[in-house]
Amino acid sequence: MTEEILVADPQERFQDFLKADKYRERISRMAIAGSTSLTVDFEELLTTDSALAENLMEKPDEYLEHANRAALAQLQIEEPEYAEGIEKIDVRLRGLPETIPLRTLGSEQLGKLVMVEGIVVRATPSQPLITQAAFRCKRCGTVTPVPQTGTFLMAPIVCSDPACKRKGPFDFVQEESTFIDSQEIRIQERPEELPPGQLPRWIDVKLLGKDLVDVARPGDHVSVVGTVRASAPTIPKVGKLRVFTLHLDTNFTDVVSKEPETVVVSPEEEKQIFELAKDPWVHRKIIRSIAPSIYGYEHVKEAIMYLLFGGVAKYLSDITIRGDMNVLLIGDPGTAKSQLLQYVAKIAPRGLYTSGRGTTAAGLTAAVIRERAGGMTLEAGALVLADKGIASIDEIDKMRPEDRVAIHEAMEQHTVSVAKGGIVATLNARTAILAAANPALGRYDAYRTVAENIALPVTILSRFDLIFVLRDIPERELDTKMTEHILELHKSGAVPVESPISPDLLRKYVSYTKNLKPALTPEALNRLKDFYLTMRSASETEGTPIAITARQLESLVRVAEARARAALRKEVTTEDAEASIAIMKRSLEEVGIDISSHKLDIDIIMTGKPKSLRDRLQVVLSTIVEMEKETGMVEKSALLEKLQTEYEIATNEAERLIGQLTKEGTVYSPRDGYLKKT
Ligand SMILES: Nc1ncnc2c1ncn2[C@@H]1O[C@H](COP(=O)(O)OP(=O)(O)OP(=O)(O)O)[C@@H](O)[C@H]1O
Ligand SMILES: [Mg+2]
Ligand SMILES: [Zn+2]
């Protein structure tokens, strides 16, 4: 408890404070704007009149009244004409000396003025709240005003006409009642502040007055100055509960910057960052530092690197093109998908991990929910909460049906629109997405298309820049290494391979590059253009319906930009373009597109593998099966020869097909130079 310092004439002292030029100016501006609230910078009051400031924090109910009256008195001096029609000025206090973490808010702060920060997760629409109700007596016609404070509308006990004094009945007169704009929002601890494994704390915040309502929307990060109150929930006909819940009566709300707070980088770390950026192997180093406990998956980790750094958003006069990437991992059970996702959520500035079902009623996008009291509330889902960050969505194939519709807009336009229950809103969801899904049939079936393998429509699949398939295929050499890796990890309790960049430095490195906007060099642009046009024309001449679409072209640019960013470069070089093309090819191949024949048909995702490839794979496989009948194991050289002579499949093509079958796990090598069907 701070010691109480009594202040004589608080109203006068506050008015003295308001006589500073700055506030006189603000008061004049109130008249121009027709406003009835005056914002005071609390830190200033604290230095000018600390006793007064402390009393405001300790006894806000009493001292805010003094402040409000002082402001009105000063307004009457500065702008007497404007002041004439005004009954009350609200003094708004901005920026208390300290922010109380929501986690520690409790009965200790009851009745005190505090400042808290958090993310808005819910908001009711702005609604008129009655502050003074007028009732007309049905017997004599006299109107009785009744100030309203409680939850329910109160009628007068008796008629205010001394000659009548009857107990009604009364009619409510709306035209003669006074209303104020009101809104209730819920703020929650920010995802980045949440201690690992804990559920976020939240508090309901009541907003009264037209300058306070509709200032913040779900997904906004806000700082709220308000008085801590406790109220007991009422159970009709039973009474009030003994356990009270806390809420805030708001004095001031500020939407704070949505940029992830720029991490403080020491000169020492800055030096490390520059050194790293100069390293010709910087990309390799970053990739090796991503989830080092997870063995292999270099290409997935490369994609994660691009996702972390991100491309450059383009804000054109008519449209906006997202810079953030979306990456999807489809995989057999136990292929470390969840582990990778959790790692990314931890390392990314403003990262959030959620399951496709979402952790709240709002799921991934947003929802309008009906409250117990009957009102409607707009609640923000994971993608809105992860605005300007990265959302790791595990089991995305299990998302709510409502999200399946809304996620289309979220993934491309980066907004979530809601129109339901009288609430119409568009929320920001500028989020990079790393999603994971299990194959619908339990295991990935290489002979089916991606769309057949996963319970997601093509319209959603096509919004992922990169898609990879993680398959659990027994393969002797890889298995041995991975087993050793995992066992070593369990034995020593440490990562077997040391990561070149510590997670802490990597996080700082990522946010350090965020303001960089690398631009394509003419050479890089030409390289991407060539690749794209080749793929387009290939399909044109051969009459396949749709080649890769403009979506993939944008993805290529994003990846190349992200790669430049990762090296702290302002220019996107040919090398970046090449790397971008390489990983895009890999992704397209994994979803079953035949790169070799240049038939890059994105429709394949929907319709199936190119017939030619499927046929040739079938030929190789059936030849193997046939030969197995004779020899048990198939000698590779004999197979190659047979394919050449009987089916005119060239050796290098045959090698590639065998490679694909091996990768798919249909064929394995029991020993060097031999093959066998699994
Ligand atoms: N390549 C790997 N390197 C190291 N550990 C691995 C690897 N693959 C799997 N594991 C381990 O296997 C376990 C299972 O991984 P995880 O839970 O992430 O799988 P998942 O792909 O999410 O599976 P599911 O689809 O069933 O959810 C984890 O403990 C993970 O560390
Ligand atoms: Mg999992
Ligand atoms: Zn009466």
**Positive or negative: CA dihedral 538, 543, 547, 549:** positive
Give the Cα separation of 603 and 548 in Å (integer).
8
Give the position, in ligand 1's atom list, of the atom nearest the Cα of 295. Answer: 3
- pLDDT over threshold 70, residue 42: yes
Query: Could you tell me if 186 and 121 are in contact, meaning their C-beta atoms sit under 8 angstroms apart?
Result: yes
Q: What is the pLDDT of residues 656-666, one digit of tens each?
A: 888 878 877 77
Q: pLDDT above 90 covers what percent of the chain?
A: 38
| Segment 304-329 mean pLDDT | 90
Rounded alpha-carbon distances, angstroms, from residue 560 to 4, 315, 458 = 62, 18, 25
- pLDDT over threshold 80, residue 212: yes
Give the Cα separation of 265 and 260 in Å (integer).
14
For residue 122, which of 226, 205, 211, 198 has the smallest C-alpha distance? 205
Give the Cα separation of 318 and 307 in Å (integer).
26
- 441-447-452 Cα angle (round to 5): 45
Give the Cα separation of 93 and 39 in Å (integer).
6
The rounded Å distance from CA 335 to ligand 2 centre is 8
Phi, psi angles (nearest 5°) of residue 135:
-125, 130
Query: Could you tell me if 248 and 226 are in contact, meaning their C-beta atoms sit under 8 angstroms apart?
Result: yes
- pLDDT over threshold 80, residue 423: yes
- pLDDT over threshold 90, residue 571: yes
Helix axes 282-289, 503-512, angle to 10 degrees: 130
Rounded alpha-carbon distances, angstroms, from residue 383 to 185, 269, 311, 391 = 19, 31, 18, 7
Q: How many CA atoms lie within 13 A of 521 on its CB side?
A: 14
| Segment 129-155 mean pLDDT | 88
Q: What is the pLDDT of residues 581-638, one digit of tens each?
A: 999 988 887 776 555 544 444 545 544 444 556 667 778 888 888 888 888 889 999 9
Ligand 1 site, residue 296, Cβ cutoff 6 A: yes
Is the preceding omega at residue 169 within 30 degrees of 0, hence cis? yes
| Segment 417-430 mean pLDDT | 86
Q: How confident is the model at residue 259 (pLDDT cuts 50, 70, 90)?
A: low
The rounded Å distance from CA 284 to ligand 1 centre is 23
Q: How confident is the model at residue 354 (pLDDT cuts 50, 70, 90)?
A: confident
Rounded alpha-carbon distances, angstroms, from residue 492 to 274, 294, 488, 495, 498 = 33, 15, 6, 8, 13
Nearest bound ligand to the CA of residue 337: 1
Coil, strand or helix at 197? coil
Q: State the distance between the two ends of the chain, measured CA to CA, in whole angstroms.
A: 75
- pLDDT over threshold 80, residue 64: yes
- pLDDT over threshold 80, residue 32: yes
- pLDDT over threshold 80, residue 346: yes
Q: What pLDDT score does 557 carry? A: 94
Residue with the smallest CA separation from ligand 1 atom 28 is 336
Q: Which of 297, 299, 301, 339 to mutate to test the pocket of ligand 1 (most atoms within 8 A of CB)?
A: 339
| Segment 513-523 mean pLDDT | 90
Ligand 1 site, residue 489, Cβ cutoff 6 A: no
Ligand 1 site, residue 188, Cβ cutoff 6 A: no
Lowest mean pLDDT among 313-317, 356-360, 500-504, 517-521: 356-360
Query: Could you tell me if 348 and 510 are in contact, meaning their C-beta atoms sit under 8 angstroms apart?
Result: yes
For residue 222, which of 212, 231, 237 has the smallest C-alpha distance? 212
Q: What pLDDT score does 525 carry? A: 93
Phi, psi angles (nearest 5°) of residue 323:
-105, -25
Query: Could you tell me if 209 and 180 are in contact, meaning their C-beta atoms sit under 8 angstroms apart?
Result: yes
Residue with the smallest CA separation from ligand 1 atom 30 is 336
Output the pTM of the full model.
0.76
- pLDDT over threshold 60, residue 398: yes
- pLDDT over threshold 90, residue 163: no
The rounded Å distance from CA 496 to ligand 2 centre is 23
Token pair of 8 as six digits: 């004589």
The rounded Å distance from CA 140 to ligand 3 centre is 4
Q: Which of 295, 330, 335, 396 to mutate to test the pocket of ligand 1 (most atoms within 8 A of CB)?
A: 335
Helix axes 50-58, 10-17, angle to 10 degrees: 120
Give the Cα separation of 513 and 259 in Å (integer).
13
Q: How confident is the model at residue 1 (pLDDT cuts 50, 70, 90)?
A: very low
- DSSP letters for 318-384: S-EE--S-EEEEEE-TTSSHHHHHHHHHHHSTTEEEEETT-SSTTTTSEEEEE-TTS-EEEEE-HHH
Higher pLDDT, 355 or 96: 96
- CA 603 from chain center: how many Å? 30
Q: What is the pLDDT of residues 401-413, one digit of tens each?
A: 888 888 889 998 8
Give the Cα separation of 674 and 668 in Å (integer).
8
- DSSP letters for 524-568: HHHHHHHHHHHHHHHHHHTT-S--S-HHHHHHHHHHHHHHHHHTT
Ligand 1 site, residue 337, Cβ cutoff 6 A: yes
Average pLDDT of every residue of the chain: 85
Q: What is the pLDDT of residues 535-561, one digit of tens each?
A: 776 555 544 434 467 788 899 999 999
Residue with the smallest CA separation from ligand 1 atom 14 is 334
Token pair of 197 as six digits: 């494994």
For residue 427, which of 437, 418, 435, 436 has the smallest C-alpha distance? 418
Q: What pLDDT score does 556 carry? A: 94
Ligand 1 site, residue 334, Cβ cutoff 6 A: yes
Q: Which residues surround ligand 2, an ion (CB under 5 A)?
A: 338
Query: Could you tell me if 449 and 606 are in contact, meaning their C-beta atoms sit under 8 angstroms apart?
Result: yes
Token pair of 375 as six digits: 């009102």
Which of 259-273, 434-448, 449-463, 567-581 is most confident? 567-581
Q: Which amino acid is at 51?
A: A
| Segment 432-456 mean pLDDT | 80
